[in-house]
Amino acid sequence: MVDTASLLAAYDTQWRMPTATATVPTGVTHEYDGPLLRIVGGHVGRIRAPRDVGVRGAELDRLIARQQEYFRDRGQGVEWKVLAHDLPEELPERMVAAGFEPEASSAVLLGFAGEIAAEPVLPDGVVLRQVSEARDLRRIADHQGAVFGEDLSWVAGHLDSYVTADPGQITIWVAEAGDLVVCTAWSLYSPGTDFVGLLGGATLTEWRGRGIYRALLAARAREAADRGYRLLHVDASPYSAPILRRCGFHEITTSTHYRWTPAARPEPR
C-alpha cells in the first residue's frame, strides 16, 4: 500500500512553494505578502500559499483584497491555486465573495520516477526530441493552441524564460511525425527536493490513443530517475488522470485555480 499521507506531506513541504535553490525564470519576480507568494512578470499573475495562510475572518478578507489591489494597479489578472486540504476552510468561499472565479478542479497526482521510467514506445513514424530553440518553442505554443482551442502564444515566452534562466531546470519535449508536432510536454526540476513537475502534456485529437502521451511520460520519468529525482507531480485533467493512474500515479488531493481579472478602468472624460 502506498502511504498517500506521506506523499501529501512531502508535496506540502517540498513542492507547493518555490525553494531557496529554485531558479526564478527570466523576467519574473517573486515577492511576499505575509504568507503569500506573488509571482509577477508572466502573462498572468500567480499566487501560491502554504497549506494554512494563518489568518481568518476579516483579516483573511483584507489579505484577499490586498492581492486584488496589487494586481489591479498592474492592470493584470491573477490566479490563486488552492488545494482541497488547505486551511482555513473558509478561504474558497471568501475568495468567491471577493470576485474570484473557480476553474474546474484537477487531480493532484504523484508517481515514483523509478517505477514509471521506461523505454518510450512510439508509433511508426513518430520520434521524440528535446528542444530549446525559439523556433521550436513557437511551434509548441501553436500546437498547444490547436489542442486547447485558444490563443496560447504566451507559452513560447513562458518556456523561454525558464531556458534562459537555467536550462538545467527544464527539459522540453516534442513528439513529431515528419514536420508535424503531435504531442508536447515539459519537465520542471526543483533542485534540493525529490520533485519534478510534469507539465504541458497535450496531444492532437487525431493522434490520441496511440500511446504517444505515455511514451513522453516514460521518457520524462526515465530522465528524472537518471538525474536522481524520486517523485513526479502532475495536476491532471479528467482526460489525463486515468492514463496517469494506470501508469502508477497516486491521487493525494485536488487543486483548483481561482481567477480574478480587474474591471477595465473608465476612460477619463
Average pLDDT over residues 178-192: 97
Q: Where are the beta strands (DSSP E) in the chain?
A: 29-33, 36-40, 45-48, 78-83, 101-102, 106-112, 126-131, 170-177, 180-189, 195-203, 231-236, 250-260
Q: What is the pLDDT of residue 263?
A: 84
Q: Tens digits of per-residue pLDDT, 74-102?
A: 999 999 999 999 999 999 999 999 999 99
For residues 234 and 242, give the distance between their C-alpha atoms in angstroms, rounded to a whole number: 12
pLDDT > 70? residue 265: no
Residue 208 CB neighbour total at 10 angstroms: 14
Indicate whether 266 pLDDT > 90. Answer: no
pLDDT tens by residue, 23-77? 899 999 999 999 999 999 999 999 999 999 999 999 999 999 999 999 999 999 9
Only one residue has cell 530549446, namely 132
Counts for the chain of helices (H) and strands (E), in that order: 8, 12
Q: Residues spanned by CATH 3.40.630.30 within the chain?
A: 111-253
In this prediction, residue 116 carries a pLDDT of: 98
Q: Is the peptide bond before 18 cis (omega within 30 degrees of 0)?
A: no
Q: What is the pLDDT of residues 123-146, one digit of tens each?
A: 999 999 999 999 999 999 999 999
> What is the CATH number that goes with domain 111-253?
3.40.630.30
Give Cα 59 to chain centroid, integer Å.
Answer: 29
Report the percentage of the chain scoring pLDDT > 90. Answer: 94
Q: What is the pLDDT of residue 267?
A: 52
